[in-house]
Structure formats: structure tokens, C-alpha cells
Amino acid sequence: MSQQLILAKPSTKLPQPMLEEERTTISNLGRQMLEQGLTVGTGGNISARSGDHVAISPSGIPYRDITPEDVPIVDIHGEHIEGERQPSSEYRMHTGIIRERDDVGGVVHTHSPYASTFASLGEPIPASHYLIAFVGDQIPVARYETYGTAELAEAAVDALSGQYNACLLKNHGVIAVGESVDAAFEVALMTEYCARIHYQAISVGVPEILPDEEIDHLQDRFTDYGQDY
Ligand SMILES: [Zn+2]
């Protein structure tokens, strides 16, 4: 019996880019931000966490042009570790929230118009529509700080206070979080929807506000019934 010669096969695999799935999701959700009217121009930004790494939308590239390769990676302290493009100017806010919230796997920041209207008024949005339970018993407002600063990150963390899935950023826009970046995007959509309904309701009358017990009940139901609401 001849001895079988075992040759080591040369590896044909190229090194895998980091967080490939997260980068693809971010480039797709960027286009959806525009299509769903959640922002204008290059406003807003999106991040997805994987362990100690965060894929985040790049700075200054139009959403329709962002490819997965354009999406840089930072660590949870905001240090740029991969990708040629610069991370979004709001990387401190994304990583600041991610460091504080173990339950958060994705962050979406928008300038959606109805929610930004209440942000400019500095008014939280109360529970005038049941879908606010995606966020909590209200959508709170973070104090005003200049965009891109560590102070804005702190203000957002304070307003989210470990319990809300979104807050308004005073005179600016919206932060939405979720266990994944897709979940955070859904919360951003719900925030804008609730803001629009509340705006319309107070324009023609006085909406009734749902009690806290009902919000708790709704949050249990959302957990049980998944996407069917
Ligand atoms: Zn912004």
C-alpha cells in the first residue's frame, strides 16, 4: 500500500473584512433613512455593535453612495480601527450610549421632521398613541449640546436613563436604540410616527394620554407577539 501523500492546500481565502454583515446593514439602512423621510442630506447616522466593535456610518458621504466598504469600524471607546473613511462626527454619541447600555446592539440618529419639531420646542412626546410603547411611557428630551461633542453623548445617555429606547435631542433630532440596528431603525420610525400623530392630534383637539399601566401591558404584548402589532 503506497503511502498517501497529503499536501497542505494553499489557502484561497482572503481575510474577511470585519463586521461585514453590520457594514452591509448600515449601507442599506442609510438609503432607507432617506426613503422613509427620516433625514435630509447627509444628516443622521447609524451604528451596529458586535462585541467591543462598532460599525458606524461614514462622515460626509451621501447615503445613496455608501457601500459596505465605506463603513468604518471603531471600538466602543470611539477609536478608529478599520476602514479608510472617517467615522460619523457623532461617533462619541453612538459609542457613549453603547458603553452605557449592555442591551443596545444598534443606534440610529435621525433628523426626522415631526420629532425634530418637538425637539425644537423642548417638549417630550406623551403617550397619545399606543405605539409609543416601543420607546417607553413617553419620548423624553435631552438637553441641548453642540453636535459631535462628548457633552451631547452625555445628554443623550442621561435622557435615555437606561429605560427609554429613544429620546429627542433638543433643537436637533432623535436618538433611537434597539437590541439590533434593525430594531433601532424600527424605533426611529415609530418615534417619527408617534410625533406626527401627536402633532396632528394637538392641532385639532386634546388627545387622551394612555396610563403607565397600559404602556407596561403593551410592552409585555410586544415582547410576546413579536412584529405583529
Ligand atoms: Zn444630527
pLDDT 10s digits, 171-193: 999 999 999 999 999 999 999 99
pLDDT for position 223: 80
User: Does 8 reside within a domain?
Assistant: no
User: Does 36 reside within a domain?
Assistant: yes
User: Does 12 reside within a domain?
Assistant: no
Query: How far is the centre of ligand 1, averaged over its atoms, from the C-alpha of 229 (Å)?
Result: 30
User: Does 88 reside within a domain?
Assistant: yes
Q: Which residues contact 174 (CB under 8 A, 6 or more apart)?
A: 109, 110, 111, 112, 115, 116, 119, 166, 167, 168, 188, 191, 192
Query: How far is the centre of ligand 1, averaged over its atoms, from the C-alpha of 125 (Å)?
Result: 19
Residue 161 region, left (φ>0) first, then alpha (ψ -120 to 50), else beta? Answer: left
Residue 5 region, left (φ>0) first, then alpha (ψ -120 to 50), else beta? Answer: beta
Query: How far is the centre of ligand 1, averaged over its atoms, from the C-alpha of 174 (Å)?
Result: 8
Which residue range is the domain that position 92 belongs to? 20-225
Query: How far is the centre of ligand 1, averaged over its atoms, from the C-alpha of 109 (Å)?
Result: 7
pLDDT in tens, 9-21: 555 666 667 899 9
Q: Which residues contact 190 (CB under 8 A, 6 or more apart)?
A: 131, 132, 134, 135, 166
Query: Of 22, 90, 145, 192, which residue is the catalytic one?
Result: 90
Asked whether 194 and 128 are in contact (CB, 8 A), the reply is yes
Environment class of 126 (CB within 10 Å of its CB; exposed 0-12, middle 13-18, buried 19+): middle
User: Does 189 reside within a domain?
Assistant: yes
Gap between the Cα atoms of 60 and 80, Å rounded: 16
Q: How many domains does the chain have?
A: 1
Query: How far is the centre of ligand 1, averaged over its atoms, from the C-alpha of 166 (Å)?
Result: 14
Sign of the torsion angle spanned by Cα atoms 133, 170, 76, 100? negative
Query: How far is the centre of ligand 1, averaged over its atoms, from the C-alpha of 45 (Å)?
Result: 7
Mean pLDDT of 26-31: 97
**Unique residue bearing C-alpha cell 481565502:** 13
User: Does 51 reside within a domain?
Assistant: yes
- What's the whole-model pTM score? 0.91
**Unique residue bearing C-alpha cell 383637539:** 205
CATH number of the domain enclosing 44: 3.40.225.10
User: Does 3 reside within a domain?
Assistant: no
User: Does 4 reside within a domain?
Assistant: no
Question: Which of these, 124, 122, 118, 130, lies nearest to 212 by C-alpha position?
Answer: 130
pLDDT in tens, 85-136: 999 999 999 999 999 999 999 999 999 999 999 999 999 999 999 999 999 9
Asked if 82 is an active-site residue, the reply is no
